[in-house]
Amino acid sequence: MSENGHKKIELPALISVRDLAQSIEASPIQIIKKLMNNGVMASINQTIDYDTAAIIAAEFGFEAVPEREQAEEKETGELPVWRQMIAGEDEQSLTRRPPVVTILGHVDHGKTSLLDAIRNANVAAGEAGGITQHIGAYQVEHKGRQITFLDTPGHAAFTAMRARGAQGADIVVLVVAADDGVMPQTKEAIAHAKAARVPIIVALNKIDKPNANPDNVKKQLGENGLVPDEWGGNTMVIPVSAKQKQGIEDLLEAILLVADNSDIRANPKGAVIGTVIEAQLDKSKGPVATLLVQNGTLETGDIVVAGTTFGRLRAMFDFRGRKVQKAGPSVPVSVMGLNDLPSAGDLFQVVESERQARQIVLERQEAAQKEVSAQKKATLEELFARFQAGQAKELNLIIKADVQGSLEPIISEINNLSKGEIKINILYAETGNVSENDVMLASASQAIIVGFNVQAEVAARRLAEAEGVSIRLYDIIYRLTEDIEKALKGMLAPEFTEKVIGKAAVLQVFTLSRGNRIAGCKVTEGEVRRNSKVRLLRGKDVVYEGEVASLRHEKEDVREMRQGFECGVGLKNFNDIQVGDVIECYILEKTKVD
């Protein structure tokens, strides 16, 4: 308590109305009203600066103090295996290793150009142009220190690594085009990096463009939790032009600065462990994989297990294509000798003998099979069980809605639920249908996707099924929040998994007397059942989800129709059927609980 009886509260340089409401336990509406009284018009997602927030906080009986600079989020959750290994090493054996950097950002903002600019600017002059090899990672030297760049732009690779718990990168460079600003994939990248607790440096690219607007981008970054350091925040924002090769040195400098503030160490003499960056089948060399060493020193002749592949390393090459015998921590090497292609993101380790390698691979294969049958799902029930067991204190959500206007009330309702023991963590809230990227992020972060008035793209559904990610779609906000509330109380109705039982192609559309339309179909796969659920697919869109209203075969009502037969299908409360649509039939099976 302060002298005037006000409770103290720490506030950051910029805060959204929603977060302010939460921290002073007021409703966002109350805050918006107070702001209006003070002449500030702001919606729930908008950010206000510290001074404004402090005034509002005071009106609610709080005395604001600036948030401490380095108030880093505490590390929770499980560390990736290789980090655990390093943590287990004797303190004295640990030495500094080069930071591993990955470049993320929205499409066309210049990730590839920046990777090329850094690569070309920093290889010894004699070699420039000589490096045509792309092995998925390269190293540059700045002021006598090495930096390793993962040369697989786009966050698919990063997500793959994260989803497998590898988390190879120490630092994320987020490329944002100064003429375009923060875009959906920028936000996804921020969510990824935050979820992995990897520090972010922003490369404000394309500053050479006449319509570049750095200040606007900085404002947007602030609104997305990356307040530039020049504005009192913690994020370094480095203006660069990948095209004109400007600012590259500054960016490398920033990377080393951030590296110095992070614990980037390893034991070069310790057990060898690392991550597979990429792998390809070469016609003459066989499987060739790029391995990033994270602890220990990898040597030619070592017997390596990578995911479910193994082999004795016949030869190793650095990113320049030069043969090497050894690779220490943070060094990427392209290796030959594995018996098959490992997956990007797989961990590798060195073992004593081929026999041991075979044994490990066998165990992994068996475990993988078990996992498929048990499918570790991030269902609401499963998560709740983990809350109860004290293993989880956060419910991660990804929210997709049709329009910005519906996101706001959903977020505020959900935040209202997020009180007490369990914290609801909204990783990402955006407009648009549920996409494959959303599912990847959900899978990597053990999150659930909730959609409001949106659909899930077909590819997203498939991936969700394969990855065991829950997608829940709603058209009434109240039902959405009710479900989450129920889940938090452990009362959610059992989850059902869907099983597709058949598909039918719409060949003709008939209109009946009362205007109801019937799809003349041919069953192309499995069977169509009268009592099943259906979804109508048009290209990659789902245009209807519901139930079969009628199923007929040559004027007879039938209960089911098998592959190869033609039938008439009516859909409950839906008439906009078109030739070329596909009717997918599915049933809901109760998920088995062990």
Question: 263 with 288: CB under 8 angstroms?
Answer: no
Query: What residue type is assigned to position 20 of the chain?
Result: L
**By C-beta, is 83 or 111 nearer to ligand GDP?**
111
**By C-beta, is 108 or 527 nearer to ligand GDP?**
108
Question: 588 with 497: CB under 8 angstroms?
Answer: yes
Distance of CA 75 to the CA centre of its chain: 18
DSSP 8-state assignment for residue 553: E
Neighbouring C-beta atoms of residue 39, cutoff 10 Å: 6
> Closest approach of Cβ 153 to ligand GDP, in Å?
5
Q: At what angle do helices 155-163 and 436-445 cross, to 10 degrees?
A: 30
> Closest approach of Cβ 208 to ligand GDP, in Å?
5
**By C-beta, is 151 or 381 nearer to ligand GDP?**
151
DSSP 8-state assignment for residue 516: -
Write the CA distances from 291 to 49, 168, 304, 336, 521, integer angstroms.
45, 11, 11, 11, 51
What is the pairing mode between strands 326-327 and 298-299? antiparallel
> Closest approach of Cβ 183 to ligand GDP, in Å?
11
> Closest approach of Cβ 379 to ligand GDP, in Å?
35
**By C-beta, is 243 or 522 nearer to ligand GDP?**
243
Query: What residue type is assigned to position 492 of the chain?
Result: L
Distance of CA 52 to the CA centre of its chain: 33
> Closest approach of Cβ 198 to ligand GDP, in Å?
19
Closest CA to 141 of 162, 158, 124, 160: 124
**By C-beta, is 109 or 461 nearer to ligand GDP?**
109
DSSP 8-state assignment for residue 241: B
> Closest approach of Cβ 252 to ligand GDP, in Å?
16
What is the pairing mode between strands 100-105 and 171-177? parallel
C-alpha to C-alpha distance for 170 and 187, rounded to whole angstroms: 19
Query: What residue type is assigned to position 566 of the chain?
Result: E
**By C-beta, is 154 or 268 nearer to ligand GDP?**
154
> Closest approach of Cβ 463 to ligand GDP, in Å?
22
> Closest approach of Cβ 107 to ligand GDP, in Å?
5
**By C-beta, is 243 or 552 nearer to ligand GDP?**
243
DSSP 8-state assignment for residue 352: S
**By C-beta, is 246 or 516 nearer to ligand GDP?**
246
C-alpha to C-alpha distance for 137 and 148, rounded to whole angstroms: 7
**By C-beta, is 46 or 112 nearer to ligand GDP?**
112
**By C-beta, is 34 or 245 nearer to ligand GDP?**
245
> Closest approach of Cβ 247 to ligand GDP, in Å?
9
Angle of CA points 400, 401, 406, to nearest 5°? 135
Write the CA distances from 137 to 122, 147, 279, 310, 379, integer angstroms.
14, 11, 12, 21, 36
Interacting residue ranges for ligand GDP, rule: CB under 6 A: 105, 107-113, 153, 205-206, 208-209, 241-243
> Closest approach of Cβ 173 to ligand GDP, in Å?
12
Q: Is 79 exposed, middle or buried (0-12, 13-18, 19+ CB in 10 A)?
A: middle
Buried b (16+ CB within 10 A) or exposed e, 254-292: bbbebbeeeebbbbbebebbbbbbbbeeeeeeebbbbbb
Concatenated DSSP letters of 60-105: TTEEEEEPPTT-PPPP-SPPPHHHHHHHTS-GGG-EE-PPEEEEEE
**By C-beta, is 205 or 437 nearer to ligand GDP?**
205
| 21, two tokens | 């409401």
> Closest approach of Cβ 111 to ligand GDP, in Å?
3
- 567 Cβ neighbours under 8 A, 6+ residues apart: 504, 521, 522, 523, 528, 551, 552, 553, 558, 561
> Closest approach of Cβ 104 to ligand GDP, in Å?
9
**By C-beta, is 119 or 503 nearer to ligand GDP?**
119
**By C-beta, is 135 or 207 nearer to ligand GDP?**
207
**By C-beta, is 110 or 451 nearer to ligand GDP?**
110
> Closest approach of Cβ 236 to ligand GDP, in Å?
18
